[in-house]
């Protein structure tokens, strides 16, 4: 699958590649981090420079990003932006090694939940002057995203877009079942499932055990009013009552026969594309893939089955890579590039994303797009707290608990309690490592 997140197949190559860079990284040792933000200027009139721009847009979003880069290059005589696109999983292993070895990019894009980890490791530099220079303030973003880019009192990312989980449904199936409106809450969702079954769709909602199951779980816990992690990074709380309720709901979809048991990796998405299932939750970056498939489908916000409207989201963020030996011209040119991209983030909506800036969103770029109904629910989007190293811990613990809960190998409460305790001790270790 060629999408932003579905990059399992290449993690192996990523590991191998990272091993290669490792020797370099390990030897250079890395000097003391000097995280002084660079000053901002919105024009660059120095000598011609080439800046390295790293990102992970390997899916349907890749051509759109390259189009923007080409346009930037055409408009700027003395700046050439050279893209280097690698799978995200590989990206996050490669970047720290490359930056530590002094072989990193000048500028790049990463996910918002990765900012704190890389900031704590001095892989990226703060961007406060850049944000001020472009004129980006809290007013242009939802509070959730503005809080998520801050680590240790400084901001590390320039938001490009937000992308959340969405509910995709087969419009043909809905029509046959007599459902006229997309379900929005627990009752209408349950009602829709029953109608679909009555219309002959035996398994209308395949419940995945793997990706994006943990994102569905998080959305559910947030809907119930819970928080999966203490925001100061001191403890995991995904075994709270709201967390247990979330996983029990997921399991009940299987127990109640709306989903077959043992849905393996990616099967639910393949089934949706084949018309074997009627509803699936997946990221909005799948839109282009679904468009290409010719399936009769529509997208809607993830229904609030467990309480208030809330949904997991992430965001692509421009970052400035830390330079052991900064070149002023390149730093200046990189900032011009980021500022320009932020201005043009409306064009990025064609890649299925939602521009992060309120001013861009309200300019009409989303009118008539598939993701428009989801963009309208932007205030309900939630991000993981900026805790360094959280992503790795989550995949080691929460994802295992959710998978076991859905598969029925462990009762939801047991799985969550055990894995949450494990996550807490890992988080405590990280807190000590990163100096709190």
Partner 1 sequence: MSEAVTHRPDAPARAGASGPPAGSRRRRSPIAPAPATPWLFLAPFLVLFGTFVLLPAGFGVWISLHDWDYTFPTHPFVGLSNYQALFDPSSTAGGPFWESMRATGIFTVLSVPLLLVVPLGVALMMNARFPGRNFLRAVYFAPYVLGVAVISVLWRYLLDTNIGLVNHYLGVLGLPDSTAWLTSQPAAWASLVGVTVWWTLGFNAVIYLAALQDISAELYEAAKMDGAGAWQRFRHVTLPGLRPVLMFVTVNTIIMSANMFGQSYLMTDGGPGRSTRTAIMRIAETGLSSFQMGSAAAMSYLLTVVLMALSALVFWLFRDRDAVRPRKKVRS
Least gap, CB of 48 to partner 1 (angstroms): 32
Q: Within 10 A of 339 (CB to CB), how many other CB atoms are there? A: 22
Helix (H) or strand (E) holding 390: helix 390-396
DSSP H helices, 164-280, are 171-177, 186-198, 213-223, 241-255, 267-273
Q: At what angle do helices 398-407 and 213-223 cross, to 10 degrees?
A: 100
Question: Quick check: 54 binds partner 1 (CB under 8 A)?
Answer: no
Nearer to partner 1, 9 or 135 (CB): 9
HEC string of 98-152?
HHHCCCCCCEEEEEHHHHHHHHHCCCEECCHHHHHHHCCCHHHCCHHHHHHCEEC
Q: Does 176 bind partner 1 (CB under 8 A)?
A: no
CA gap 204, 69 in Å, rounded: 41
Q: Is 18 in the site for partner 1 (CB under 8 A)?
A: yes
Among 19, 138, 198, 241, binds partner 1 (CB under 8 A): 19
**d(C-alpha 157, C-alpha 321), whole Å:** 11
| Stretch of 80-88, 179-187, 194-202, 265-273 contacting partner 1, by CB under 8 A | 265-273
- Decide: residue 234, CB within 10 A, 0-12 exposed, 13-18 middle, 19+ buried: middle
**Nearer Cβ to partner 1, position 107 or 123?**
123
Q: How far apart are CA 386 and CA 410, in angstroms?
A: 30
Tell me which of 271, 299, 390, 398 binds partner 1, using CB under 8 A.
271
The reply to whether 49 sits near partner 1 by the rule CB under 8 A is no
CA 314, CA 165: separation in Å to the nearest integer?
9
Taken in order 237, 406, 7, 30, is the CA torsion positive or negative?
positive
Site string for partner 1, 222-261 (x = CB under 8 A): --------------------------------------xx
Rounded to a whole number of angstroms, the minimum distance from the CB of residue 130 to partner 1 is: 23
Which has the closest alpha carbon to 302: 199, 224, 380?
380
Q: Is 379 in the site for partner 1 (CB under 8 A)?
A: no
Name which position in 137, 274, 293, 362 contacts partner 1 (CB under 8 A): 274
Q: Terminus-to-terminus CA distance in the chain, angstroms?
A: 38
| Centroid of chain to Cα 333 | 27
* Smallest separation (angstroms) from partner 1 to the CB of 432: 11
DSSP state of 240: S
Shortest distance (Å) from residue 30 CB to partner 1? 5
Q: With beta carbons less than 8 A apart as the criterion, state whether 76 and 336 touch.
A: yes
Residue among 377 and 401 whose Cβ is closer to partner 1:
401
Alpha carbons within 13 A on the beta-carbon side of 189: 20
Contact between 123 and partner 1 by CB under 8 A: the answer reads yes
- For partner 1, give the closer residue by CB, 260 or 346: 260
Where in 385-424 is the site for partner 1 (CB under 8 A)? 389, 392, 395-396, 400, 403-404, 407, 409-410, 422
Closest CB to partner 1 among residues 233, 355: 233
Closer residue to partner 1 in complex, CB, 209/339 = 209
Pick the piece of the chain touching partner 1 (CB under 8 A) from 116-124, 148-156, 343-351, 375-383: 116-124
Q: Rounded to whole angstroms, how far apart are CA atoms 13 and 386?
A: 28
Q: Does 12 bind partner 1 (CB under 8 A)?
A: yes
- Least gap, CB of 204 to partner 1 (angstroms): 14
Does position 300 interact with partner 1 (CB under 8 A)? The reply is no
User: Which among 3-11, 227-235, 243-251, 371-379 is the span making contact with partner 1, rule CB under 8 A?
Assistant: 3-11
Rounded Cα distance between 419 and 212, Å, is 18
What is the closest distance, in whole angstroms, from the C-beta atom of residue 71 to partner 1 in the complex? 34
Residues of this chain, 82-101, that bind partner 1 according to CB under 8 A? 93, 96-97, 99-100
- Residue choice 85, 188, 265, 309 for contact with partner 1 (CB under 8 A): 265
Q: How far is the CB of 283 from partner 1 (least distance, A)?
A: 18
Q: Which is nearer to partner 1, 272 or 297 (CB)?
A: 272
* Burial class of residue 7 in the structure, from the number of CB atoms within 10 Å of its CB (0-12 exposed, 13-18 middle, 19+ buried): buried
Under DSSP, the state recorded for 31 is: P
Beta strands in 261-346 (DSSP E): 279-283, 297-300, 311-321
Which residues contact partner 1 (rule: CB under 8 A)? Answer: 8-13, 15, 18-19, 22-23, 25-26, 29-33, 93, 96-97, 99-100, 121-123, 206, 209-210, 260-265, 267, 270-271, 274, 276, 389, 392, 395-396, 400, 403-404, 407, 409-410, 422, 425-426, 429, 433
């Amino acid at each position: 699958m060629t999408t932003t997140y579905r990059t399992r197949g290449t993690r192996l190559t990523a590991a191998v590649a990272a091993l290669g860079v490792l020797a370099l990284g390990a030897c250079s040792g890395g000097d003391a981090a000097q995280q002084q933000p660079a000053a901002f200027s919105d024009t660059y009139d120095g000598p011609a420079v080439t800046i390295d721009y790293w990102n992970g847009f390997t899916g349907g979003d890749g051509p759109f990003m390259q189009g923007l880069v080409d346009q930037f290059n055409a408009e700027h005589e003395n700046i050439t932006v050279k893209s280097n696109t690698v799978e995200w999983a590989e990206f996050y292993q490669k970047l720290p090694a490359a930056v530590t070895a002094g072989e990193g990019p000048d500028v790049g894009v990463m996910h918002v939940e990765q900012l704190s980890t890389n900031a704590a490791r001095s892989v990226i530099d703060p961007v406060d002057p850049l944000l001020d220079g472009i004129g980006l303030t809290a007013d242009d973003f939802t509070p959730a995203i503005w809080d998520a880019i801050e680590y240790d009192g400084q901001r590390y990312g320039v938001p490009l877009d937000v992308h959340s989980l969405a509910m995709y449904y087969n419009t043909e199936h809905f029509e046959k079942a007599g459902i006229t409106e997309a379900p929005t809450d627990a009752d209408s969702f349950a009602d829709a499932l029953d109608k679909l079954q009555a219309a002959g769709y035996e398994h209308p909602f395949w419940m995945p055990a793997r990706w994006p199951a943990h994102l569905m779980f998080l959305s559910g816990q947030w809907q119930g009013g819970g928080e999966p992690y203490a925001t100061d990074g001191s403890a995991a709380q995904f075994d709270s009552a709201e967390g247990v309720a979330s996983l029990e709901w997921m399991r009940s979809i299987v127990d109640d026969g709306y989903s077959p048991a043992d849905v393996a990796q990616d099967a639910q998405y393949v089934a949706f594309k084949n018309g074997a299932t009627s509803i699936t939750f997946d990221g909005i970056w799948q839109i282009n893939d679904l468009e290409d498939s010719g399936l009769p489908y529509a997208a809607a916000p993830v229904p609030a089955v467990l309480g208030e409207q809330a949904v997991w989201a992430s965001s692509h963020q421009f970052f400035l890579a830390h330079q052991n030996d900064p070149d002023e011209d390149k730093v200046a040119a990189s900032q011009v590039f980021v500022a320009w991209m932020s201005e043009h983030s409306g064009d990025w909506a064609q890649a299925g994303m939602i521009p992060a800036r309120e001013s861009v969103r309200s300019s009409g770029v989303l009118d008539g797009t598939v993701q428009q109904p989801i963009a309208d629910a932007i205030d309900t989007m939630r991000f993981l707290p900026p805790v360094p190293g959280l992503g790795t811990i989550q995949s080691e613990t929460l994802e295992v608990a959710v998978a076991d809960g859905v598969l029925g190998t462990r009762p939801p409460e047991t799985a969550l309690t055990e894995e949450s305790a494990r996550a807490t001790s890992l988080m405590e270790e990280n807190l000590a490592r990163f100096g709190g």
